[in-house]
Amino acid sequence: MRSTAKAVPGYSATAIGLHWIIALLIFAAFGLGLYMTGIPGLTPTKLKLFSWHKWLGVTIFAIAVLRVLWRATHAAPPVAAGTPAWQARAAEGAHHLLYVLILVVPITGYLYSSAAGVPVVYLGLWKMPALIGQNDELKEVLKFAHAWLNYLMAAVVVVHAAAAVKHQLIDRDGTLGRMLPFLR
């Protein structure tokens, strides 16, 4: 049964584009990270995959900065009418956490690379500055932080996606259509 609730206003094309570009890049970087860390030893293939992973991370960070700037200057549409206050607060908290993670995860990876003494050469063309010196103790802390922040982001993304599907299939309130305009 379709809800008779008024249609929920959607996000702008820019917000939608930035959302899905970052989401796809994060999925790629996460999958690549899981795959490459499972390769034993230090092979040419593994080194190539690490480079690709770093390129994705730098790209994600740059686009995430744009996304945060866009979001800071463009308000999100209101939640659907009838959404319980606790759900609205939870959604807002999850979105803020995701914004923090899409910035912090690439930063921890970049710092981890610097602490390991391994430069980041973006797209194989531009050697990026090491923000910290080589440091084996800090390298281990940053490796741990980078990995677990990724798992935290994956968990939040799963909950975020599950909530969107719940709004589409159970609540039928148009919330998912805000990021997927073809569902409106």
pLDDT single digits (tens) 96-122: 999 999 999 999 999 999 999 999 999
| pLDDT tens per residue across span 56-74 | 999 999 999 999 999 999 9
Instruction: Identify the residue with better confidence: 2 or 179.
Output: 179
Class of the CATH-defined domain 13-183: mainly alpha
Please indicate, yes or no, whether the overall pTM of this predicted structure exceeds 0.85. Answer: yes
Classify residue 123 as left (phi > 0), alpha (psi -120 to 50) or beta: left
| pLDDT tens per residue across span 12-36 | 999 999 999 999 999 999 999 999 9
Q: Nearest Cα to 167, choosing from 81, 101, 98, 89?
A: 81
For the chain, give every domain's residue range.
13-183
